[in-house]
Amino acid sequence: MLQKLLAGAQLSVGGATFSRFLFGFPLAAVTALGFLAATATPWPHLSGPFWGFVIAGGAAQVAATFLTVALFGLRNFAVGVAFTKTETVQVALFSAIILGEFVGPIGWIGIAIGLAGVLFLTKPPEGGFNPRAALYGVGAGALFGLSSIFYRGATLELEPLDFFARAIVALACATFAQSLGMGLYLRLREPGELTRVFGAWRRTVLVGITGVLGSAGWFTAFSLQNAAFVRALGQVEIVFTLLASALVFHERLHKREGVGIALVVVSLIVIVLAGR
């Protein structure tokens, strides 16, 4: 929600995307160092495969976020974000191919129910179907799915550390790489945008803080469970997205949203049972 507000506040798509990582990195780094110090845990060895997973995951997440922010200018806020939810099917396939972690029959049932709920939420409005929005949304979903797989791979590379230590160290490294990469991109491709991002720090800092807190939840879950189950359970965010759409942006919602939300909630219950 904050990121959509930023997209209309004299910041480019790249600037709005960059703000998510820039102010999140210091918080993640301080938390990682503080947690390791408080638990007397030495800083772990960061192997080549770890950095490979982190950089690949960070790049995929940046590209997915870029597409998501671009979506806001094409479609209704809630519907645009809902298009990205096709990732639940994609991440289950990526998880099996890349990490060798499979989803059983009950898990697939939960994913299918959730996808049905998302389809109710992504019915084209009266204005007609927008193929560019669909392409952006599905592409963002695929990239978010890949980033989830790579981030779980990064946390697994830090075993046998405690699950939260693995999550917060991986998060700190990912936000560092993303901040550096996006900063260089904006410096070269969008002169003056870095100045605008820093100039709007009172608003961008909120995006960074909420973004990194959400990411901390994702990374912690990835360190504990198959990424396919984590992302499928994460569909609960569509409920909050719809609330933001109606209450903050005053966008009209339809009766089908009730059916879609109900299906998503049912899918969450099935996913939890499958994940056990």
The per-residue pLDDT string of the chain (276 residues; one tens digit each, 9 = 90 and over) reads: 776 666 555 777 788 778 777 888 899 999 999 999 999 999 999 999 999 999 999 999 888 878 887 777 665 555 666 677 778 888 988 899 999 998 889 999 998 898 888 777 765 555 555 677 778 888 988 999 999 999 999 999 999 999 999 999 999 999 999 999 989 999 998 888 888 888 877 777 887 788 889 999 999 999 999 998 898 888 787 777 777 777 877 777 677 777 887 888 888 889 888 877
pLDDT at residue 175 in the model: 92
Please classify residue 99 by burial: count the beta carbons closer than 10 Å to its beta carbon, then call 0-12 exposed, 13-18 middle and 19+ buried: middle
Q: Which two tokens stand for residue 235?
A: 């569909």
Q: Which two tokens stand for residue 222?
A: 């990835």
pLDDT at residue 262 in the model: 82
pLDDT at residue 61 in the model: 87
pLDDT at residue 267 in the model: 87
Please classify residue 170 by burial: count the beta carbons closer than 10 Å to its beta carbon, then call 0-12 exposed, 13-18 middle and 19+ buried: buried
Query: Max alpha carbon distance in the chain (Å)?
Result: 59
The three state secondary structure string of the chain is: CHHHHHHCCCCCHHHHHHHHHHCHHHHHHHHHHHHHHHCCCCCCCCCHHHHHHHHHHHHHHHHHHHHHHHHCCCCCHHHHHHHHHHHHHHHHHHHHHHHCCCCCHHHHHHHHHHHHHHHHHCCCCCCCCCHHHHHHHHHHHHHHHHHHHHHHHHHHHCCCCCHHHHHHHHHHHHHHHHHHHHHHHHHHHCCCHHHHHHHCHHHHHHHHHHHHHHHHHHHHHHCCCCHHHHHHHHHHHHHHHHHHHHHCCCCCCCCHHHHHHHHHHHHHHHHHHHHC
